[in-house]
Structure 1
Amino acid sequence: MHIDEAGPADAPPLLLLHGGGVSGWMWRPTIAALARPVRTIVPDLPGHGRSASADYRSHAETVDALERELERRAPGGATVVGFSLGAQLTVLLAARRPDLVTDAVVVSAQAKPIAMASLTLGMLAAAAPLARWQRFARLQAKELFVPEALVPEYLADSARITRATLVASVGENLRFTPPAGWGEGTAPALVAVGARERSLMRRSAEVLHEARPSSELRVIEGVGHGLPLQRPDLMAALLDARLGHPSG
């Protein structure tokens, strides 16, 4: 798993987990907007970006790898931030290793499984080659609020993603439910969702918040499924507040 680490060694560690179909580059606008230095740990998850040579297999296997990286890079714990697919991994990581997750920021995580997931995955597998079609990929980039400067990286990621990665990662996403350990955790957590997201996503945010008494729920007005790319200034302000830094 390719990982970029940057920032002062003594700065607060921040593990940033990207969504499906993109890679670590999606966090650049947010990092640039942060008010104070942090030590960022930004992986390209399996099957994505510079880790595309190994297919995504499961959330459990990915969390195993993330645990090992945190044990090595931030043994005292880190603030873990995830978007969409990465947000589900953040929930699992916080549930399994509360000693490594001092604060969890969960952005746009689906937490209610959908009906007929197998049918949806079958259709997705059939349509997988579309991801390599540049015109289709550009439309998807627009849906995710990818800024024009980062569109080439999105197109490159789309061309690399395999059918196996697509089906495995989306399958895990569609079937995801919060583990028991999430509700038992006492560390702070922020669950955020865009007010313009689908009702399933807004309800999922409520489910995650209701399950964990130590969490805070934020519904971000004017935002769809893409807070870190649509409004990196707001994403950075949320993180600055969690890290005890004044934003701006």
Structure 2
Amino acid sequence: MESYGAVTGAGVPLGAQEWPARRVPVDGVDLLVRDAPGAAADLPPALFVHGLGGSSLNWTALGLLLNDTVRGIAPDLPGFGRTPIAGAAGINEQAAVLVELLEREIKQPAHVFGNSMGGASAVALAAQRPDLVASLTLISPALPHPRVSASALWFAALATPRLGPVVLQRSRRLPFDQRFRASLAMVFGDPHSVAPEVRATYEAELRRRDGDPWVGQVTVEGAKSILRSSLAPPRRSLWADAAKVECPVLLIYGGKDRLVDPRIRTKAQRTFPNAHLLYLPSSGHVAQMEHPQQVERAFRQLIS
């Protein structure tokens, strides 16, 4: 069991508490996996999947709120958090890692939560292996969008062979504090509403990850994968996968999301056969961090 010295207990915001961590060999790499503390062993299993640039720490508050209902695990996918990169890092590769992790660790249908690119990987997982998924909770999933947005142009720039490395190099030359403020503004609807302890935990993780040599590579590969998914023909797209998902699906979109256009929620609700929608007007891209109580209540309603 690994420990990283985070404080826990009464008086500490849920999002600043840290779950115990261990290593699980999956797909040729020792995946860091966190277990939600306090969950009974006989509870239904849950899998929490972070997005591009995220980590298992993105699920801390929500997993603790639900630890009387599900037994959650949250991995750092290859190239993210504290797991080194291993091969390609696209949506399909992540789905394959999740399949192996579920078969190794859980061996029964799990409630799967996915945010952003992790939401896209969760959709691919559910379409390929419906026997492993009891429900899907998708928070701002990175599904193809017909409208060109600033974020789409950014992903396209990163995915361009010569332009992508230049964009990343110029970004990394900026002082960390400037990049951190930009990250807060990009993912949170209201960065000023984030509890100081949660902000400090988020900053510490980003600062630690800043020194990982594979950060640029995995970011570019993730951007390429998202771009490829948006250009895929209809019969091979993530929307085709979504139409195959028969388990209950909770769709969560934030009205202040700067990375995923929340207007896509209408198409998403129409496409998934058994979809339920939660729209949070004041939330950004990571509703599970910004409004975990609302996400918790919606999930409880989904499975009740």
- TM bucket, shorter chain: 0.7 to 0.9
Aligned to 1:204: 264
1:179-230 deviation per Cα after TM superposition (whole angstroms, max 9, x unaligned): 5232022211111111222595223333322212211222112112221121
Distance 1:119 1:26, change over 3 A: closer
Residues 1:34 and 1:76: Cα distance change in structure 2 (over 3 Å): closer
**Structure 1 CA distance, aligned partners of 2:32 and 2:259?**
34
Higher RCO structure, 1 or 2 (CA under 8 Å, sep 6+): 1
Aligned to 1:170: 223
Are the equivalent residues in 1 in contact too, given 2:95–2:121 (CA < 8 A)?
Answer: yes
1:108, distance to aligned residue in structure 2 (A): 0.4
Alignment deviations for residues 150-195 of structure 1 (CA, whole Å, 9 cap, x no partner)? 1211222343252210101122223334252320222111111112
What's the Cα RMSD here?
Answer: 2.5
The answer to whether the Cα contact below 8 Å between 1:209 and 1:216 also exists between their aligned partners in 2 is: yes
1:23-172 correspondence to structure 2 within 5 Å: 23-34=55-66, 36-54=68-86, 56-112=88-144, 118-122=156-160, 123-129=163-169, 130-131=171-172, 133-143=175-185, 144-145=187-188, 147-150=198-201, 151-160=203-212, 161-172=214-225
Give distance in 2, aligned partners of 1:109 and 1:196. 15
Amino acid at match of 2:168: A
**Residue identity (%):** 26
- Asked whether the equivalents of residues 109 and 204 of structure 1 are also in contact (C-alpha less than 8 Å), the reply is no
Distance 1:199 1:28 in 2: 22
Extract unaligned runs of 5+ from structure 2: 1-30, 189-193, 230-236
For the 8 Å contact 2:91–2:121, the answer to whether it is kept is yes
1:94–1:225 distance in 2 versus 1, CA, 3 Å: same
The whole-number CA distance in structure 1 between the counterparts of 2:225 and 2:85 is: 20
- Farther-moved stretch of structure 1 (31-40 vs 69-78): 31-40
- Distance in 2, Cα, partners of 1:37 & 1:212: 24
**TM-score normalized with structure 2 length:** 0.72
**TM-score w.r.t. length of structure 1:** 0.86
On the 8 A contact 1:18/1:86 being kept in 2, the answer is yes
1:106 CA drift (Å): 0.8
Q: Which amino acid aligns with 2:159?
A: L
Aligned-partner residue type, residue 256 of structure 2: R
Match for residue 2 of structure 1? Answer: 32
Deviation >6 Å, runs of 4+:
none
Distance 1:136 1:172, change over 3 A: farther
Partners of 1:26 and 1:199 in 2: CA distance: 16
